[in-house]
A and B are shown apart, each in its own frame.
Chain A
Amino acid sequence: MPSDPLVAQHVLEFPGGYTRTTGPVIGRFLSELRGRRIVGARTAEGRVLVPPLEYDPATGEPVTGEYVEVGPAGTVTAWAWVHEPLDGHPLDRPFAWALIKLDGADTALVHAVCPEHPKAMEAGMRVWPIWRDQPTGHITDISYFAPEVTKIVSNVRSEYRLQAGGALRVFFEGIQRGVFLGGRCDQCDKVYVPYRAACPECGGVIPETRELPDTGTITTFAINNLPDPRAPQVPFVSAYILLDHADIPMIALIGDVPAHEVRQGMRVKAVWVPESERTASMANIRWFAPTGEPDVELS
């Protein structure tokens, strides 16, 4: 669309900018700011005005000439959120204009507060000044106020190298071949799977492995509605499966059946990945799937 010749832009700006003589009180305030200190003026009644004035606005009396260092931290008393900063605003990202009562002051200073999120803004929040690099004696020597530090992030990381040895290695060698290896404690007459070298009940040695079938019975289960990287979908069923001839259940994923059709007593069989994909890992067993046999009556 061609521009309308009867519409014009006009800029009114004094070249180089207006000057402002500060007078002794504001001048002191700005000089202190340049030194990264914030001061207020004491009134005859003992109140501390920040930013300072030459007079007490309540009585019109001159202030005492005493300067009091305040802050640097303060408390937000009121605020308004700026969703879209404008030219001339102190920040180019969303921020709050806030009334900040600096510690030791009796009046509030207007300045910008920039939290990470507007939800963090509230009356009563504690804020601290963020100073600009090269102070010049201007209110913008304080770039903005930021929330008090109340939390740090502490990265703790431990890295281990785990080596499956002993009984566990034996068990996984079986898994690689597509076989569950258990072991029987002669003392207790109990069959443990995975294979373990000692009985958890009596401490006796379990000298030999025993191959167990890959069929069993679901004794109980949970339907998990929380996602898990190890499960193919949500909901997924994690079940206690008592392998045939074993005396202790193992926990495994149930598949090939809708979660809400899984039953206690259901007969299941391991679904192995193809032989070419097998490793010494439980990933060899995709899940257990129903065999279709009648349910087992649980005691």
Chain B
Amino acid sequence: MNRCAVIGVGQTHYTTRRRDVSIAGLVREAALRALEDAGLTFKDIDAVVIGKAPDLFEGVMMPEAYLADALGAAGKPMMRVHTAGSVGGSTALVGASLIQGGVHDRVLVVAFEKQSESNATWALSTHLPFSSSLVVGAGGYFAPHIREYMRRSAAPDHIGTLVAVKDRLNALKNPYAHLKIPGIDQKMVESTPMLWEPIRYLETCPSSDGACAMVLSSESAVTGTPAWVHGTAMRSEPIFRASRDTVSPQAGKDCAADVYRQAGIADPRRQIDVAETYVPFSWYEPMWLENLGFAAEGEGWKLTESGATALDGDIPWNASGGVLSSNPIGASGLIRFAEAALQVRGMAGEHQVDGARTALGHAYGGGAQFFAMWIVGREKL
């Protein structure tokens, strides 16, 4: 397999409503910044991979067809990836596979969401006939699984609020982050209403407009500062399966095991310096800490409580502020992968983790049934 590197990262500012740009303008903003970071232009790109979550969010069917020329893909291979909320991660991995497989030397990957064009809870709760699922939006779906995690692990109630505060404090250091809540503390989070109990308002992610892009390169085509891809993995599992563990899905465990094996990681807690993981509801930090092997089963919340995952902890999680602070759904996974790359390139600015050499990018989607992960490093593997 050929080596693959991230040589350019571009992000838009994430915000409730980008009234000033079209969807094409939004993705171009991210793409042009990524190209600028790599010191390249559209002419230098061999293929474009676009990712976004369900088309129902913007009501633009097959937006990739309309966005192809906006992203300089005229005359080049272009494809769209769709794996629900994990799509940003999957998009990066499809792009990486085109490099690793020796098909192309430079691939532009772009993911976006412009949530302000409709309403995600509406789009995720279309009440199809012959169903009485009673699930209201993503929060309604995940709340029971969080409750079950709390029961099994006997975690104290305040763990979720710790993550809600920690990620928002990190966001204050990220110029692109959507939610900036100066002075946020546990009391403020606890004072917000329960939406889908046990999930409080400030324990959920915002709805954002935004796009993220990366330029991926083969070893011979590297420009600028590379982040080297050490491992890539995707897994899925059926959502309706008897004995499925919805708290710690098998697909997530398998995906982590695969990506760690490729990257030579036996102890993620010690060997990974920073992780950008998909935590749209605060309790998913301790849940994924266990699913991804950073803590033993039932012990994830202790790691969160100890401060280990804070920016100044020994294994910072979501130094960027994470999905809890910025959530253009289709792009959210790609942002995790891009932030991991920025960390090992030493280009994360105020939220840089000192000396980060190895980083995990993680995304999940659907009913926690699609997983995408990569490990990137400062050095070649």
A223 contacts B197, CB within 8 Å? Answer: yes
**CB-CB < 8 A to B145: which residues of A?**
220
Residues of A within 8 A of B20 (CB): 150
| Cβ contact of B197, chosen from A151, A222, A228, A251, cutoff 8 A | A222
In the complex, the answer to whether B132 meets A282 with C-beta atoms within 8 Å is yes
Write out the residue numbers on chain B whose beta carbons fall within 8 Å of the beta carbon of A172: 130
Q: Which of B33-41, B225-233, B235-243 contacts A (4 or more CB under 8 A)?
A: B235-243
B65 CB within 8 Å of chain A: no
Cα separation A164 to B144 with both chains bound (whole Å): 28
Of the stretches B84-92, B93-101, B134-142, the one at the interface is B134-142
Quick check: B241 and A251 within 8 Å, CB to CB?
Answer: no
What is the CA–CA distance of A223 and B144 in the complex, to the nearest angstrom?
A: 9
Let me know if A226 is at the binding interface, CB within 8 A.
yes
What residue of chain B has the Cβ atom nearest to residue A161's Cβ?
B129
Interface residues of B in 237-275 (CB under 8 A from A): 238, 240-244
List chain A residues, Cβ under 8 A from B137.
226
B147 partner, pick from A188, A222, A247, beta carbons under 8 A: A222
Asked if A26 lies at the interface with its beta carbon under 8 angstroms from chain B, I say no
**A221 partner residues in chain B, CB cutoff 8 A:** 144, 147
Closest to A230 in B: B134
Contacting pair A225 B144 (CB below 8 A)? no
CB distance from A125 to the nearest CB of B (A): 11
B188 at interface by CB-CB < 8 Å: no
Does B193 have its Cβ within 8 Å of any Cβ on chain A? yes
Smallest Cβ distance from B273 to chain A, in angstroms?
35
- Shortest CB–CB separation between residue A13 and chain B, in angstroms? 46
A6 interfacial contact with B, CB 8 Å: no
Q: Are B147 and A251 in contact, CB atoms less than 8 angstroms apart?
A: no
The answer to whether A191 touches B242 (Cβ under 8 A) is yes
SS of B interface (majority)? loop
Q: In the complex, A256 Cα to B348 Cα: how many Å?
A: 53
A285→B135 CA distance, assembly (Å): 16
Is A252 part of the binding interface, using a Cβ–Cβ cutoff of 8 Å?
A: yes
Rounded to whole angstroms, the CA-CA distance of A191 and B240 in the bound complex is 12
Of the listed residues B132, B147, B194, the one surrounded by the most CB atoms of chain A closer than 10 A to its CB is B132
As a 0/1 sequence over residues 215 to 249 of chain A, the CB contacts with chain B under 8 angstroms (1 = contact) are 00001111111101011000110111000000110
Pick from A150, A164, A190, A222: contact of B196, CB under 8 Å: A222
Contact A226 B242 (CB under 8 A): no
A226 CB contact (under 8 Å) in B129, B147, B195, B240: B195
| Minimum distance in angstroms from B241 CB to a CB of chain A | 5
> How big is chain A's contact interface, by range?
35 or more
- Enumerate A147-181 residues with CB–CB distance to B below 8 Å: 150-151, 154, 156, 162, 164, 168, 172
Contact partners of B238 in chain A: CB under 8 A: 200-201
Of A168, A191, A226, A264, which is within 8 A of B130 by CB?
Answer: A168
| B148 on the A face (CB < 8 A) | yes
Q: Is A253 an interface residue (CB 8 A)?
A: yes
On chain B, the residues within 8 Å of A226 by CB distance are: 136-137, 140, 195-196
Chain A, Cβ-Cβ closest to B147: A220
Give the number of residue pairs across the A-B interface with Cβ within 8 Å.
Answer: 98
Is the CB of B151 closer than 8 A to any CB of chain A? yes
A200 to B237, CA, bound (A): 10
A192: CB under 8 A from chain B?
Answer: yes
| Residue B43 CB within 8 A of the other chain | no
Min distance, Cβ A126 to any Cβ of chain B, angstroms: 10
CA of A192 to CA of B240, assembled, Å? 9
Q: Is the CB of A154 within 8 A of B128?
A: no
Most buried by B among A222, A231, A235: A222
User: Please, what's the 1-or-0 string for B188-223, where 1 marks a CB less than 8 Å from any CB in chain A?
Assistant: 000001111101000000000000000000000000
B187 at the interface (CB under 8 A from A): no
Q: Tell me how far the C-beta of A270 lies from the nearest C-beta in chain B, rounded to whole angstroms.
A: 12
Q: How far is the CA of A224 from the CA of B196 in the complex (A)?
A: 5
Q: Does B306 contact A (CB under 8 A)?
A: no
**Does A298 interact with chain B (Cβ within 8 Å)?**
yes
Q: Which residues of A contact B197 (CB under 8 A)?
A: 222-225, 235
Nearest to A222 among chain B residues (CB) is B143
Least Cβ–Cβ distance between A81 and chain B, in angstroms: 21
Q: A162-B130, A238-B140, A252-B132 are in contact. Are A225 and B196 (CB under 8 A)?
A: yes
> Smallest Cβ distance from B254 to chain A, in angstroms?
15
What mask results when residues 286 to 319 of chain B are scored 1 for a CB within 8 Å of chain A, else 0? Answer: 0000000000000000000000000000000000
Partner of B243, one of A190, A228, A236, A239: A190
Residue ID in chain B nearest A231 by CB atoms: B134
CA distance A86 to B241 in the complex (A): 69
CA distance A219 to B145 in the complex (A): 10
Supposing A247-B242, A298-B151 touch, asked if A222 and B144 sit within 8 A by C-beta, the answer is yes
Q: Are A201 and B19 in contact (CB under 8 A)?
A: no
Contact B130 A200 (CB under 8 A): no
User: Quick check: B134 and A238 within 8 Å, CB to CB?
Assistant: yes
Check B144–A240 contact: CB distance below 8 A: yes
Contacts of B243 in A (CB 8 A): 190, 247
Instruction: For the complex formed, measure the closest distance between the CB of B242 and the CB atoms of chain A, giving whole angstroms.
Output: 4
How far apart are the CA atoms of A236 and B137 in the complex, in Å?
Answer: 15
The reply to whether B133 and A251 form a contact with Cβ atoms under 8 Å apart is: yes
- Choice from B127, B134, B151 contacting A251 with Cβ under 8 Å: B134
8 contacts between A and B (CB under 8 A): A151-B19, A192-B242, A221-B144, A222-B140, A223-B194, A239-B144, A248-B244, A283-B132
Interface residues of A (CB under 8 A from B): 150-151, 154, 156, 162, 164, 168, 172, 188, 190-192, 200-201, 219-226, 228, 230-231, 235-236, 238-240, 247-248, 251-253, 264, 282-283, 285, 298
Contacts A191-B242, A225-B195 supplied; 14 other A-B pairs, CB < 8 Å: A154-B59, A156-B59, A190-B242, A192-B242, A201-B238, A201-B242, A220-B145, A220-B148, A222-B144, A224-B196, A226-B195, A238-B136, A248-B242, A264-B147
